[in-house]
Copies of this chain bind each other. A is one copy, B any other.
Amino acid sequence: METGISGAVWGQVMRPMRRAGRQVGVWLGLLFVATVCLQSMVAVAADAPLPSWNDGKARNEIVNFVNRVTTTGSPDFVPAEERIAVFDNDGTLWAEKPVPFQFLFAIDEIKRLAPKHLGWKKEQPYRSVLAGDLKGIEASGEEGLLKIMMTTHAGMTTDAFAGSVSNWLKKAKHPVRKVPYTDLVYQPQLELLSYLRSEGFKTYIVSGGGVEFIRVFAEQAYGIPPEQVVGSAGLVKYQNGSDGKPELVKEPRIDFVDDGAGKPVGINRFIGRRPIMAVGNSDGDLQMLEYTADGPGARLAVYVHHDDAAREYAYDRKDRLAKLDRGLNRASAKGWVVISMKNDWKTIFPAPK
């Protein structure tokens, strides 16, 4: 604290104290130095970034990149306001099997809403959903899937939709793993997000999933606030409700698909700056990684490779929902970072609370 007391006054005050304290001062100094040294060593061990990451190529490239862009005077230094890092969500920050969780939300919503729609028992694709008949849902084709999504994602206010997602997340469990969906975030990625933020990065989600869906849990699950979530969106209309109060209503029309070539478009639209780091896990992230990697200065493009059938899932070139094929080729040609979940991550999911 700066008290504003002049040097002369300080000298007058301190002289007698200094005289008395000179001898003990020496001991005090030594004790102080020893304590600080010890604490620093402990702190280094505890604060080493990315504790759930094995010491390998992927971790080293990430840490080296962060050091280069954050070290003042480094030729690759990037001012804090331009340290934008973008992350895909499904399969990059949390699991996405057997199908992206937002679709499982839609299925559960159909079941929850069914008592108010008695005709659904006879109408496809609802009949198949209510009967738990996955093949029947699949047979209903794109039209059927769109119907499921629109019924559960449109025709209500944005607040009501957020409430449904929030309630679902509290109660629903993953069909195979039997844990809440938000337990299926990747522990090493939580550490990466938090490490980047501690180094002055602004972390964003840029997802093909619905922006209004992800915003409900992104802050709690990842420390990413709503305004830093970019995603696909339905049309929203502003109107005065039956009680005259203003409300935003979700309409049954797709407005923006934040996938593939849509991802750089979404980044430009929402963020207005080219990121310096991008992380994805499928060909749907390829353009986002290309766009990021192609900017001037230091850039980091990262793919998460699902190669861990034992602890999570193994899928890539032939997967139907989240293919990583052209992306793997591009990563290899361009020298992008490819995270092996099997080899680079000590753990996949956070320890149970």
* Residues in B neighbouring A245, C-beta threshold 8 A: 294
* 0 or 1 for each of A1-22: is its CB under 8 Å from B? (1 = yes): 0011100010011001101110
Docked-complex contact B13 and A28, CB < 8 angstroms: yes
Q: In the complex this chain forms, how many copies of it are found? A: 2
Please tell me if A35 contacts chain B, counting CB pairs below 8 Å.
yes
CB contacts under 8 Å to B, within A203-254, are 211-212, 215, 219, 225-227, 229, 233, 236-239, 245-246, 248
Interface locus among A268-276, A319-327, A340-348 = A268-276
The CA-CA distance from A226 to B202 in the complex, in Å, is: 13
Q: Which residues in B have their C-beta under 8 angstroms from that of A290?
A: 246
Q: Could you tell me if A246 and B39 are in contact, using CB atoms closer than 8 angstroms?
A: no
Are A246 and B287 in contact, with the CB atoms below 8 A? Answer: yes
Is the Cβ of B215 less than 8 Å from the Cβ of A237?
no
Interface flag for A123 (CB, 8 Å) = no
| A5 with B31, Cβ < 8 A, contacts A246-B291, A268-B158 known | yes
Instruction: Give the chain B neighbours of A269 by CB distance below 8 A.
Output: 211, 233, 236
Among B9, B27, B229, contact of A272 (Cβ-Cβ < 8 Å) = B229
Indicate if A24 sits at the interface (CB-CB under 8 A).
yes
Q: Chain A 131-148, CB within 8 Å of chain B: the 1/0 string?
A: 000000000000000000
Write the nearest CB–CB distance from A280 to chain B, whole angstroms. 15
Docked-complex contact A270 and B27, CB < 8 angstroms = no
Question: Does residue A36 face the partner (Cβ distance < 8 Å to B)?
Answer: yes
Distance A225 CA – B202 CA, assembled complex (angstroms): 12
Determine if A261 and B238 form an interchain contact, defined as CB atoms under 8 angstroms apart: yes
Question: Complex formed: what's the CA distance from A27 to B14 in Å?
Answer: 12
With A and B bound together, what is the CA distance between A269 and B19 in angstroms? 67
A115 to B21, CA, bound (A): 80
> Do B17 and A24 have beta carbons less than 8 Å apart?
yes
Closest chain B CB from A172 CB (angstroms): 22
A264 in the interface (beta carbon within 8 A):
yes
Assess the B225–A81 pair: CB atoms within 8 A: yes
Which residues from 269 to 289 on chain A have a C-beta closer than 8 Å to any C-beta of chain B?
269-273, 287
Interface residues in A154-205 (C-beta closer than 8 Å to B): 158, 202
Residue pair A4, B39 in contact (C-beta under 8 Å): yes
Tell me which residues across on chain B come within 8 A of A81, comparing CB atoms: 219, 225
Residues of A within 8 A of B (CB): 3-5, 9, 12-13, 16-17, 19-21, 24, 27-28, 31-32, 35-36, 38-39, 81, 158, 202, 211-212, 215, 219, 225-227, 229, 233, 236-239, 245-246, 248, 261-262, 264-265, 268-273, 287, 290-291, 294
Q: A81-B225, A215-B272 are in contact. List 10 more A-B contacts (CB 8 A).
A: A4-B35, A13-B28, A17-B17, A17-B20, A202-B227, A226-B273, A236-B269, A238-B264, A238-B287, A246-B264
6 A-B residue pairs with CB within 8 Å: A4-B35, A17-B20, A17-B21, A246-B264, A246-B294, A270-B270
